[in-house]
Structure formats: structure tokens, C-alpha cells
Structure 1
């Protein structure tokens, strides 16, 4: 289905990107006014009912699934996002997303500048006041407004930081080190996508994962922030990271079965000496 031919585009400039593998189910008499922006990604599902109206400056970002019932109206500047960028305490990932479907019922009026986030279901016959952030389900036959109260909370930033740059998901002694050094945030970066096994370490609060970390600027920033570098990854050294750590006199700790370089400035431990490595790291961080 050709999106532009299926809806009535009124006024000036409409940004429309619909991927070839997207699935569209568009009703009759849909109206979209000026400066709207619509993106539907590969494999995503966008379903819009009859007589739905979008006022100026509305946006739809559909990467998973968005459904909108008949006769629903959207005020100026409404934004609908069914996915988020993934992030950790130190970095936001440009290309790694997580999504959940959005379902909006029939006969709703969504007020100007409302933002609707992933995973939300809005029932039928709902009125949402201007400037609302919709991050939870709204039952049918409801009126939604908001207060001006802001809630601000700090990120959980550790006192100390360790860095590992790796092509491999096999990091020697990682679980033991994470458990033994809760006061240290372990920044694990990979220039590629990562396995579910490596991602499983996110169960530790002090594990910070950087996927598709190909920028020298980003890896330099993490290395500068780190108090120590851990040479514990199997496979090859990534982007001269050991040399870069040595050049700025960053303390380096390694296991003898994976160490990539030998230097008097690198402290090397056997696999049976994990406790000694932990004690040496603690002494370094004092």
C-alpha cells in the first residue's frame, strides 16, 4: 500500500518514510496536516482506522506496532514512539533499540504536544490534555491531565571504573570480578553486536555494556574515565587498546591465559589467583 496515496496530506511538507517490508492497514478519510513526520521501519505494523485526524507537526515512529482506532484526533505536535534507544549509565546507543506495541482506541482526543511512549494501551473514548507524557495504560472513558511536578533522580554512578574492549563474549573471570568489586563499574565495549551471553551480565548493577562501539572518540573517553584496564578478553586485542592504555600509564591487570602483551607495567595473575587480582585492584584504587 502506498502511504501517500492512501491518506489525505493537507498543507505543506510531509516527511514520510515507509520501509518496503513494513505492514500498513490504513482506513478511509485519514487526514494529516502540515509538517508531519511518519516513519515505519522494516517489519513494523502500522494500523490507522477511519477518519483519524493528525494536526500540524505530529510524528509517528513505528518500529514494532502502532494501532489507532476510528475517529481519533491528534492535536498539534503529538509524538508517538514505540521504541527507545538502549543506554547504560554512561552512553546512549544510536542504533540499538528496544520496542513494544502501542494501541490507541477509537473516539479519542489526544491534546497538543502529548508524547506517547512504547508499550502503552489507551482505551476508547479517552481525552488527554495538552503536554501529557503517556507512559502507562489509560483505561477507556477517561480524562487525563498532568501537574507541573518534575521528578529528578541521579544515575547510579560508581566511585571507580574498569574498562574492557573486546571482540569476544568470553571474558576471563568476569562474573567473579563483578561480584567481588561492587564498588567498581565495569565498562565492557565491543565494536560489533554482542551475544545474549554477554548481555546476560546486565543482571549485575555494575556491568555497563557498549555495543557497536566503533568510535575511537568513545573508547578514548571510556579509557580516560577508567581507573584501570582489564586485559581479560579472549581473541585479539581491539584497536591497540593495550598500547593506548600503556601510553597514558593506565594500570592494567590481566590473566595469564589471555594477556595480549607482556610488560612490567601489566600485572598478570593466574586463573587460580582471582582473589589476588581483586586485592591488587583494591590496593590500586585506594
Structure 2
């Protein structure tokens, strides 16, 4: 086997590669051990769990919360934005890059799978060949519990993906999508903002983390699908 087909660079590129090779195994094992520790610690040592995330995730990541248990296969290919909150049971297979935008939320047991295998060529599949495609999740987006996102998918900013959805195609900004496969059922609508239900004087930005200016919908973006 040509060592190039076993390299981390080949794995991350989206080309066909073989999941063998000492370098890749070393990185995967190191990350697996760190997440084993992460899950054993749970909520008992926040400083150590934060240190593990800084060690594992792409250096461009911000400060985020990931509830244990969680597993990220490699880590260096995963970039998580500032103030992202991820609930229990996360799984990320990041042989290709994964990006989660600032202030997004993932519900329990969400799964992001960049990994792929041959579909028609069963001999190639059984022979160990794999490839990957990136996943991008925008800012201020909410994935409900048990959402699965497959490789090659981009989900835009300010989207809501309903619980149990399987996202197999791109979802544009400001969309509400549900189902398997997920489909857009409507656009986010400024006339339905829940802030009208808040007590008088309550701040929309209760955590003080929103950008200075929030995007508003244009007149035609609320068009129904």
C-alpha cells in the first residue's frame, strides 16, 4: 500500500484513503484517550475538561460547552465557535473538516458524520477504502435532539433543525427544517418572534453574548415554502 493513501493529509482532503498507517492511528488513539478521560471526569473538574477541549479541537475554536459523554474522532478537523453549547451524547466523525458557528446549540445525541464509503463498489468498500466530505453549521443555529448530519452538508445561519431529522442536503440561512431526509418547511419569520412573551424589561440577550447587530429578515425572506 502506498503510504500516501494512509496519510492524514489524504484523509482530510476528501480523496479516497485507507484508514491505516501509524501517524493516523497515533492521532486517533491520543484523541480517544483524551475523550475517555473527558467522559470519566464529567462535571467534576471543569478546568481539566476545558483543557482537554483546547488540546483536542482545532486551535481556531472558541470557548464552548460540550456535555459528557461525547466523542470526537480526531479533533484537529473540528472547529467550534465561541459560546457554542452541545448537550449530552455528541458524536463527530471528523475525517474531513467540521465547523460549528458561534452561539449555535446542538441537542442531545446529535451526530455529525463526515465519513463515507463506496456505495456501488462493494469490493472497494470491503477492501478498506473511505473518503470524507466536510460539514458546516452556521452561527446561531439550533439542532434538536438526535439530529444526524452527513458529509458534504452545509447548514446556514439562524436555522432550526427539528429533533430526529437526518440532514442530507444543504439548508439555507433562516430555515426551519424537519424530517428524514430533512426538508425546509418554512423560513424564520420576524412576525413570530417569541420575545413578545417575555416580561416587560427583560433583555433578549440574557447571556450578554449576542453580536452588536442582529440580522433582520427582508420582506421576501418569510415567503412560505
Counterpart position of 1:32 = 66
- In the alignment, does 2:87 pair up with 1:52? no
Contact residue 74 and residue 109 of structure 1 kept, 8 A: yes
Render the CA deviation track for 1:107-164: whole Å, top value 9, x for unaligned. Answer: 011011110000111000000001101010000001011269xxxxxxxxxxxxxxxx
> Which whole-Å CA distance do the structure 2 matches of 1:147 and 1:136 have between them?
11
- In the alignment, does 2:92 pair up with 1:72? no
> Which whole-Å CA distance do the structure 2 matches of 1:70 and 1:147 have between them?
26
Count of aligned pairs between the two proteins: 140
Superposition misfits of 4+ residues, deviation over 6 angstroms = none
Contact residue 24 and residue 45 of structure 1 kept, 8 A: no
Return 5+ residue gaps in structure 1 as ranges: 149-286
Q: Relative to 1, partners in 2 of residues 1:107 and 1:21: Cα closer, same or farther, differing over 3 Å? A: closer
Contact residue 32 and residue 54 of structure 1 kept, 8 A: yes
Counterpart position of 1:192 = none
- For the aligned residue pairs, the C-alpha RMSD in angstroms reads 3.6
Q: Relative to 1, partners in 2 of residues 1:68 and 1:87: Cα closer, same or farther, differing over 3 Å? A: same
> Which whole-Å CA distance do the structure 2 matches of 1:137 and 1:77 have between them?
21
Aligned to 1:62, which of 91, 94, 111? 94
Q: Relative to 1, partners in 2 of residues 1:22 and 1:31: Cα closer, same or farther, differing over 3 Å? A: closer
Kindly name which structure, 1 or 2, has the bigger radius of gyration based on alpha carbons: 1
User: Residue 22 of structure 1: CA displacement?
Assistant: 8.2
TM-score by length of 1: 0.42
User: Residue 104 of structure 1: CA displacement?
Assistant: 0.6
Contact residue 57 and residue 79 of structure 2 kept, 8 A: no
TM-score by length of 2: 0.53
